């Protein structure tokens, strides 16, 4: 294979892996609320926005990017905890009301960020500006760090769910909530912790993507739509489905973005997602690894 061709292939694969990593983190929180709790949270994208603004705020007062990245999941968790305590827990049996309530919350958060930080995109400086020579191509070092952090986070979540008592509680509640309550699991507390945890992961995703994105109060909307694609296409309620959905949506989007406009690429990804769900209603992974 020619060097130029290898350069194109490796760069395309790494760009796809960058987008897949971000979608996995954003989709993880949505998979928890949508798959575990059956809550359609339209404010989930704002957790990403809050994480990005946390990094911007820390940098604007003289802090480092890494300090801002540590603050991002904390900010997401705080907002998620307040949302769950104040609204979500009162609407578990009313899914339509949850949709309307979280939509309203997303608008309030967007306006709140706009009033607090003002109009216009906010700059976020990455911790590393240079590139690394990967033999066939050179690639931005920060993107490689982003991929590594996302993979380590996903591995940590898998270990948390598969090796801890909290993970066992979550899996039990997923299988049968009534049975879980019967054996003494506090499902309400499990829901609250799981929802807050998902918001924290989304906040981390926002902090990671901030140097690569346009940080605006409305930036979470695009991530929300793609996260729903990931969860529904991959299969609700499983880590394997989350990974499969992220690879499908992120990989296809990255490849199409090289050939056509982003808006047309997004439309084609949506059409492909509809076809995938039509052919495999339970998701690409089919919940085999729950």
**Distance in angstroms between the alpha carbons of the first and the last residue of the chain:** 41
* Res. 3 pLDDT band, cuts 50 70 90: low
* Res. 289 pLDDT band, cuts 50 70 90: very low
DSSP string for residues in 106-155: HHHHHHHHHHHH-SSPBP---S---EEE-SS-EEEHHHHHHHHHHHHHHH
Which phi and psi angles does 219 have, rounded to 5°?
A: -65, -20
Query: Strand, helix or coil at 215?
Result: strand
Which is higher by pLDDT, 4 or 101?
Answer: 101
Cα 202 from Cα 14, distance rounded (Å): 21
Whether residue 33 contacts residue 26, with contact meaning beta carbons closer than 8 Å, is answered with: no
According to the model, what pLDDT value does residue 290 have?
43
Q: Is the pLDDT of residue 288 over 50?
A: no
* Res. 132 pLDDT band, cuts 50 70 90: confident
220-260 pLDDT, tens digit per residue, is 888 888 888 888 888 776 778 888 888 888 888 888 887 78
22-76 pLDDT, tens digit per residue, is 998 888 888 877 766 778 889 999 999 999 999 999 999 999 999 999 999 999 9
Give the predicted TM-score (pTM) of the model. 0.89
Which is higher by pLDDT, 12 or 211?
Answer: 211
Whether residue 244 contacts residue 10, with contact meaning beta carbons closer than 8 Å, is answered with: no
Whether residue 153 contacts residue 205, with contact meaning beta carbons closer than 8 Å, is answered with: no
- Percent share of the chain, pLDDT over 90: 38
């Amino acid at each position: 294979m020619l060097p130029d061709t290898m350069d194109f292939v490796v760069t395309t694969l790494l760009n796809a892996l960058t987008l897949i990593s971000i979608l996995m983190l954003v989709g993880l929180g949505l998979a928890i609320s949508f798959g575990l709790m059956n809550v359609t949270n339209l404010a989930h994208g704002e957790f990403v926005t809050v994480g990005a603004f946390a990094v911007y705020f820390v940098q604007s007062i003289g802090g480092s990017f890494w300090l801002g990245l540590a603050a991002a999941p904390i900010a997401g968790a705080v907002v998620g905890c307040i949302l769950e305590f104040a609204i979500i827990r009162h609407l578990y049996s009313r899914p339509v009301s949850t949709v309307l309530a979280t939509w309203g919350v997303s608008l309030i958060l967007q306006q709140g960020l706009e009033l607090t930080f003002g109009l216009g995109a906010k700059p976020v400086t990455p911790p590393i500006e240079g590139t690394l020579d990967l033999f066939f191509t050179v690639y931005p070092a920060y993107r490689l760090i982003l991929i590594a952090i996302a993979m380590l986070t996903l591995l940590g979540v898998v270990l948390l769910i598969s090796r801890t008592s909290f993970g066992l509680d979550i899996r039990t509640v997923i299988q049968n909530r009534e049975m879980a309550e019967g054996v003494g699991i506090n499902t309400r507390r499990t829901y609250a912790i799981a929802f807050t945890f998902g918001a924290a992961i989304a906040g981390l995703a926002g902090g990671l993507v901030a140097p690569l994105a346009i940080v605006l109060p409305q930036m979470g909307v695009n991530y929300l739509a793609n996260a729903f694609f990931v969860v529904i296409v991959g299969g609700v309620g499983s880590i394997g489905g989350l990974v499969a959905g992220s690879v499908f949506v992120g990989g296809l989007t990255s490849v199409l973005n090289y050939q056509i406009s982003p808006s047309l690429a997004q439309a084609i990804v949506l059409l492909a997602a509809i076809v995938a769900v039509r052919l495999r209603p339970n998701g690409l992974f089919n919940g085999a690894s729950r």
